[in-house]
């Protein structure tokens, strides 16, 4: 590089965030229903359905329960049938998530300049971003960028790409209001994954982890008309690929959609790359306060790819489940929604419930966002959280006002409120108490062991 | 918009271009072989195979002839089998096209900062851009952006996206050397399209038009280490969607790949949007010389979607086939390679052979790039051609030197030289003579009529 990899005064802010989960919540029993209804007993099926009970996930958000017609045909649905559900049940979620983000951003729809979108569960031309723009009523020309091939890292990849595009507008002294949208409808792939488990007798755990979600953020370059207050300032990012790990993590196209590729090496590979990526991220972001040096000095919005990804990060970085409280909470209550998860985690992190679980009772000003995707790639970013903004669907919490009851007043929280937290997130906001993740520690060990013993021959 | 849609001094240049076609050239007889071998006689098949004789295309570049195993299975290949050929036969073309562009750019591989790629004939995670980077030996972190959902407009969409990303680096006073890569392997979809013709009795002409190609450009933001001379300077761009035209042009995912969506309205819809897009492009690009005002004042690098797209543009914009000589030449000799076509056209435009066909014998300094894609979207850009650079695989032609024999000295031209131009491009470089396209005028009329009579019920 001709110049050091540092970030100056970028003036990039996330001024709105929205997540929209579909209406159904799948307990472990739902996958079991499909596995026992359509497939003979076998060693691999038994093993996967066993792991399914101990993923650490209470419920996976989904466009339908186990009785949904799409997963009850004689065969697994085709990629064309998956596309139909993606359009009918997925795109409205993306429009709703985008509406929430835009409302909070206090940006008129006519001011949106770009849409940077991603999905790994659809492949169509025009892409789904076209229909999101149409659903939002965007009439002006917007520069659309639909990212492909990035799997679970897609959410942060949209943010990084949007950041670069926003700076391109900054160079031209033009206003940028970029809508980032991630949409995944993964649960419809259950039959296809169960097919492969049955036919190949492989311990494939994708169907136990993946869920459906749409999420969105609005990124502003600070030029032009006023917006809502920053929710997070974006200070810098890192994007790298771990050499020679293509076969370890992927999502291969198939007539029945995409097939999950996930080897037992993934948790250790991802854990290993965290420390160097974090160091480089820190080097590139100037001017952090002196008390932000170690990983444990920050809060972490980690993509919860699986329980072992989170526990691996804890060991590698010397952080606790409380540092990743929103990652655990999202994972437990909604599962892994691939690219759409990370903005949901960033949204959840700013809630009072999560603040109550902060390590040592201290909510951090700076947050590290992190996700892994096929390649294997790591996407990492440095965020400065605005502690005055809690995600009230556009209404901000004035710092001087008691906001105890604020979140429960908004409809936005219903899909959270409707989730039975069953003690996995304690009611008592004592920082010392066992956090969300601890209840699943035994499960993590189980999963770690199961993954360590994976037999992919 | 808060600020007018104008471009200032961007200092963006395409410093290298490369195109790589696969080794096989399909005459019209090849599709006919497949159509008659695997399908019963029917009205729709007869009609399509009739149109196939009169597309104006002499040969379509392809990864294989009609006897290739991928199109000689009992069934059309699946999307997973298409992926295998895309990887084995497509990715090496993309690596080679990228090598040519990088060599001409005189940019060391270690200086590449971003890869912006596109394809509509593959859907995998990691995306093919990952393997292009690996094939090139890129070891440093590069920001990768793989565009999806943009079909034939993908090439110019990568250029537009790269331009914005490059300006993001300019804002940070960082060097940007962005590799744009487009790769399409479309001819392997022939059986799937023939299936649909047979089953639905639709006049589907995609299989008559589409071909295989990889192409690449290197875009520089002018900061940092020296590069080769600009081939084209990028002065501005327009990107817009024609409202309510999603059903007219698309590429729908299917277990057998993607199905072409193309209604008879496309040529008239695209022709109609050209004039307003061109006006807006001109408004946004300040400082053009006074003699560049009308469409016919410019050379045109138009994506040759089909003969009627080109003839429609002629009528709508008052330009001649000679203005679009490289588009016709590419179309006639290689077919429509979707997103990968446009960089090939831009490469071909700078050849001596094409200069010899310039309207009124006058090669223009300014070139309008244009492509249409699903949405329907139009991508348009304004390029300033450096007349001293002819695409010699990195060797530039000094303006003061006679370069008569220069192109034939390079291996790069072999795939052009091996094409039998059969009088479709005259040997005599007289601007008044009948150009490439005129020989196909009768065919265009035929195709126009055939398309006008399409029955998609």
Task: Confirm if A266 and A376 have CB atoms less than 8 A apart.
Answer: yes
The rounded distance, in Å, linking the Cα atoms of A272 and A268 is 6
d(CA A101, CA A17): 4
CATH number for region A232-389+423-449: 3.40.47.10
pLDDT of residue A389: 78
Residue B258: half-sphere exposure toward Cβ, Cα within 13 Å: 29
What ipTM was reported for this prediction? 0.85
Closest CA to B435 of B336, B352, B337, B320: B320
Q: Which residues of chain A have a CB within 8 Å of the CB of B146?
A: 147-150
Residue pair A2/B225 in contact (Cβ under 8 Å)? The answer is yes
- Is the predicted pLDDT of residue B316 greater than 50, yes or no? yes
Contact B345, B326 (CB under 8 A): yes
Model confidence, pTM: 0.86
Which pLDDT score, from 0 to 100, does residue A391 have? Answer: 60
Give mean pLDDT, residues A97-106: 98
- Using CB atoms, which residue from B168, B174, B375 is nearest to A126? B375
**Mean pLDDT computed over A148-157:** 96
* Residue predicted with more confidence, B435 or A421: B435
pLDDT of residue B449: 42
For the segment B344-352, the average pLDDT, to the nearest whole number, is: 97
Tokens at A225, concatenated: 């008309």
Q: State how beta strands A366-373 and A299-302 pair.
A: parallel
Q: How far apart are CA B217 and CA B220, in angstroms?
A: 10
Helices H / strands E in chain A, number of each: 15, 13
Q: How far apart are CA A80 and CA B254, in angstroms?
A: 5
For the segment B119-131, the average pLDDT, to the nearest whole number, is 96
pLDDT interval class at B456 (50, 70, 90): very low
As a whole number of angstroms, the distance between CA B260 and CA B66 comes to: 20
Residues paired with residue B252 on neighbouring β-strands, in sequence order? B259
pLDDT at B412 over 60: no
Mean pLDDT across A327-343:
98
Restricting to B residues 214-253, those with a Cβ less than 8 Å away from any Cβ of A are: 223-225, 238-241, 243, 246, 250-253
Rounded CA gap, A357 and A195, in Å?
41
Model confidence band, residue A29 (pLDDT cutoffs 50, 70, 90)? very high
pLDDT at B112: 98
d(CA B231, CA B353): 17
Lowest mean pLDDT, pick from A323-327, A428-432, B362-366: A428-432
Confidence (pLDDT) at A286: 82
Q: What is the pLDDT of residues B58-94, one digit of tens each?
A: 999 999 999 999 999 999 999 999 999 999 999 999 9
B261-280 tens-digit pLDDT: 999 999 999 999 999 999 99
Q: Span A111-128, mean pLDDT? A: 97
pLDDT recorded at residue B287? 87
- Give the least confident one: A2-6, A152-156, B187-191, B275-279: A2-6
Q: Is pLDDT above 50 for B416?
A: no
In angstroms, the CA B350 to CA A436 distance is 63
Q: Scanning every residue of chain A, which has its alpha carbon at the shortest distance from the alpha carbon of B129?
A: A149
Residues of B in contact with A4 (CB under 8 A): none
Q: B220 has which bridge partners?
A: B13, B177
Identify whether the C-beta of residue B124 lies closer than 8 Å to the C-beta of residue B83: yes
Q: Which CATH number fits domain B232-390+422-450: 3.40.640.10, 3.40.50.970, 3.90.660.10, 3.40.47.10?
A: 3.40.47.10
pLDDT band at B390 (very low <50, low <70, confident <90, very high): confident
Q: What is the mean pLDDT of chain A?
A: 86
CA dist., res. B27 & res. A80, Å (int) = 32
Q: Is B171 on the interface with A (CB under 8 A)?
A: yes
Chain A residues within an 8 Å CB radius of B377: 126, 144
pLDDT of residue B391: 60
d(CA B71, CA A355): 59
Beta bridge partners of B40: none
Domain boundaries, chain B: 12-220, 232-390+422-450
Q: How far apart are CA A427 and CA A421, in angstroms?
A: 9
CA B31 to chain centre: 22
Size of interface A-B (CB pairs under 8 A): 223
The answer on pLDDT for A214 being more than 60 is yes
> What are the phi and psi torsion angles at B254 (to 5°)?
-160, 155
Task: Answer yes or no: are the C-beta atoms of B40 and A212 closer than 8 Å.
Answer: no
Answer whether residue A397 shows pLDDT above 90: no
Note whether A255 contacts B251, CB cutoff 8 Å.
no
- In this predicted model, which residue has the larger pLDDT, B404 or A75? A75
Confidence class for position A287, pLDDT limits 50, 70, 90: confident
CATH of domain B12-220: 3.40.47.10
Tokens representing A180? Answer: 């980032």
Q: Quick check: B164 and A165 CB within 8 A?
A: yes
pLDDT exceeds 90 at position B407:
no
CA–CA separation, A360 and A357 (whole Å): 8
Q: How many CA atoms lie within 13 A of B33 on its CB side?
A: 11
Rounded-to-integer distance, Cα A414 and Cα B407, Å: 68
Q: Which residue has the higher pLDDT, A426 or B212?
A: B212
Q: Do domains B12-220 and B232-390+422-450 have the same CATH topology?
A: yes
What's the pLDDT at B396?
34
pLDDT surpassing 50 at residue A456: no
Which chain A residues touch B167 with a CB distance below 8 Å? Answer: 167-169, 171-172
pLDDT at B419 over 70: no
**In terms of C-beta density within 10 A (0-12 exposed, 13-18 middle, 19 or more buried), how is residue B431 classed?**
middle
d(CA B298, CA B317): 11
What is the structure's pLDDT at A209? 97
């Amino acid at each position: 590089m001709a110049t050091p990899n540092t970030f100056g005064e970028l003036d990039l802010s996330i001024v709105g965030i929205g997540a929209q989960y579909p209406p159904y919540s799948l307990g472990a029993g739902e996958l079991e229903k499909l596995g026992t209804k359509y497939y003979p007993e076998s060693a691999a099926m038994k093993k996967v359905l066993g792991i399914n009970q101990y993923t650490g996930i209470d419920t996976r958000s989904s466009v339908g329960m186990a009785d949904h017609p799409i997963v009850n045909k004689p065969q697994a649905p085709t990629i064309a049938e998956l596309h139909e559900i993606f359009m009918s049940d997925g795109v409205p979620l993306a429009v709703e998530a985008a509406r929430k983000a835009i409302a909070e951003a206090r940006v008129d729809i006519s001011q949106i300049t770009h849409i940077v979108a991603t999905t790994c569960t659809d492949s169509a031309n025009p892409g789904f971003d076209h229909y999101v723009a149409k659903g939002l009523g965007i009439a002006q020309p917007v520069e659309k960028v639909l990212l492909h091939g990035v799997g679970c890292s897609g959410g942060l990849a949209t943010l990084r790409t949007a950041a670069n595009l926003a700076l391109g507008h900054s160079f031209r002294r033009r206003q940028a209001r970029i809508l980032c949208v991630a949409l995944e409808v993964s649960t419809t792939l259950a039959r296809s994954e169960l097919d492969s488990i049955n036919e190949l007798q492989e311990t494939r755990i994708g169907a136990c982890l993946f869920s459906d979600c749409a999420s969105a953020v609005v990124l502003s370059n600070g030029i032009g008309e006023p917006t809502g207050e920053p929710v997070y300032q974006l200070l810098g990012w890192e994007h790298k690929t771990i050499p020679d790990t293509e076969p370890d993590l992927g999502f291969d196209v198939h007539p029945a959609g995409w097939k999950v590729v996930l080897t037992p090496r993934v948790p250790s590979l991802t854990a290993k790359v965290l420390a160097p990526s974090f160091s480089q991220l820190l080097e590139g972001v100037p001017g952090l306060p002196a008390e932000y040096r170690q990983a444990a000095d920050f809060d972490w919005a980690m993509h919860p790819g699986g329980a072992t990804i989170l526990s691996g990060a804890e060991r590698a970085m010397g952080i606790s489940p409380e540092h990743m409280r929103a990652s655990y909470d999202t994972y437990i209550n909604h599962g892994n929604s691939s690219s759409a998860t990370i903005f949901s985690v960033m949204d959840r992190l700013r809630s009072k419930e999560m603040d109550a679980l902060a390590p040592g009772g201290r909510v951090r000003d700076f947050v590290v966002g992190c996700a892994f995707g096929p390649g294997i790639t790591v996407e990492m970013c440095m965020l400065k959280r605005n502690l005055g903004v809690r995600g009230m669907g556009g209404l901000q919490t004035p710092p001087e006002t008691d906001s105890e009851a604020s979140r429960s007043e908004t409809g936005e929280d219903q899909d959270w409120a409707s989730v039975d937290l069953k003690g996995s997130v304690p009611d008592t906001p004592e920082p010392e108490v066992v956090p969300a993740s601890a209840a699943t520690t035994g499960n993590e060990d189980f999963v770690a062991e199961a993954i360590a013993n994976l037999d992919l021959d």
